[in-house]
Amino acid sequence: MSSIASAKPALLAEVRRGPRTDRTQWLLEGPVAPTLLRLAGPNVLVMLLQATVSTLDGVFVGWLGAPALAGVSLVFPLVMLMQTMSGGGMGGGVASAVARALGGGRRRDADALVLHAILIALGMTALFTTSLVWAGPLLYRAMGGRGETLAVALAYSNVIFGGAAAYWLFNTLGSVVRGTGNMILPAAVMTVTTFVYLGLSPALITGWGPFPKLGAPGAAAASVTSFSLGILILLAYLASGRSLVTLGWARPRLALFWEILRVGAPGSLNTVMTNLTIVLVTGLVGPFGPSALAGYGMGARLEYLQIPLVFGLGSALVTMVGTNVGAGQIERAERVAWVGAGLAALVTASVGLLGALFPRAWLGMFSVDGGMLATGATYLRIVGPTYGFFGLGLALYFASQGAGRLVWPLLGGFARLVIAAGGGWVAVRWFGWGLPGVFTAMSLALVAFGVTVALAVKLGAWRRDASRR
């Protein structure tokens, strides 16, 4: 009798939580490396495709000349801010909240989180559209935009941020689905939107066939159109009843907003610091002229490509770590994080070293302008060898999102911002080291970011935080 009595509270707790699905059990019990790779595989393949698209976007705009490349380079950090915040920052908060709810057996909360995530996405859309359509001219001038470069930047920016809802809703709904452990559907939808973009972008830039010739804004219009199509597909899936979570009406609850925001808000702050670093460094490069600005922009684009590459693995880390943390399996969650971080560091280090050894193989795809090639090559030779540290820190950032513990990734991001922007300013203004000094500060900043986050996780930051709960 006593054994039955002692088992009764645990049985009642399990009933309240509800049964876990086979997919959730797989995340909790499957072998770490094969499970992580299987989970990440579809996303990694699609992120490679997205990296190709980002490269071709620069190639298409490059047809219009160096001033057009420079103008798009001014806007690119802010576009990436919106993309990384909606997909990795707040999107990571959404995926983490859904994964933790399913890992804890709270199916009703997981369903209700869908509507809460959409409401947050609409609020962030309003913020981005209002801020960047209104403040764009001031911002791009402060970053060094003048004449034709500024005109291209404003035209491109107004289309992108006028359609900000397309990015926020697409990435939010994709994060909901990934939080359930379903990586294949978001990957498939991303593939469809990618091919739509690849067909529309050159047509709208150059005016092929029946399409109007829009120049650089044509690339922006193609992007907004393709993401809007993706939204319709994801909404249909979530409303169909075939997903582990279902889109439907739920009374808004502060507790569920908090479940998303307690991870998504710090994660978004981290993306702000990451992209603010690039914005400030762009401002330091701007006075050296349009060719230098274009060269840095195309060199830094290779750095930005590390984000979608790691995101393919990182989205799996958010889900797998979040599910294990939700089930109280901290040690397994840490094992998952280190396997993912090692893979990310290997991939990004390889890309960076290839860029440093053969910079013109990358830069030559965009332009043959001598000034652009010289600046871009200088950037890649100095910063490229430290990309591995960026990949390490970024993967552990995603894992920390899954754990719901982002203090140390935020501190690492802040250190990167201070070292890159502050150190670059000192190098130019005090020591007169020019662009090599700016790029050296950037490389030191990437090392500081990776080391800070890795040491924190290694020394047990997740365990200390969990013990306080």
Q: Is the Cβ–Cβ distance between 215 and 152 less than 8 Å?
A: yes
49-87, pLDDT tens digit by residue? 777 777 777 778 878 777 888 888 888 888 888 988 888
Map out the domains of the chain as residue ranges.
32-468
Binned at pLDDT 50, 70 and 90, residue 7 comes out as very low
- How much is the pLDDT for 187? 82
Asked if residue 320 has pLDDT above 50, the reply is yes
Q: What is the percent of the chain where pLDDT is above 70?
A: 93
pLDDT at 448 over 80: yes
Alpha helices in 207-329 (DSSP H): 216-240, 254-285, 290-326
pLDDT of residue 18: 47
Q: Compute the 3-state secondary structure of the chain and give helix, strand, coil in percent, each to the nearest 5.
A: 85, 0, 15
Instruction: State yes or no: pLDDT of 230 exceeds 90.
Output: yes
Residue among 122, 123, 126 at smallest CA distance from 134: 126
Mean of all residue pLDDT scores within the chain: 84
Q: How confident is the model at residue 8 (pLDDT cuts 50, 70, 90)?
A: very low
Q: Which residue has the tokens 């700016």?
A: 438
- The per-residue pLDDT for 93 is 86
6, 19, 93, 110, 133 from 99: Cα distances, Å = 30, 14, 10, 8, 35
pLDDT value at position 118?
93
pLDDT at 467 > cutoff 50: no
pLDDT in tens, 234-274: 999 988 878 888 777 778 889 889 989 888 888 788 788 87
Sequence-distant (≥ 6) Cβ neighbours of residue 447 within 8 angstroms: 386, 389
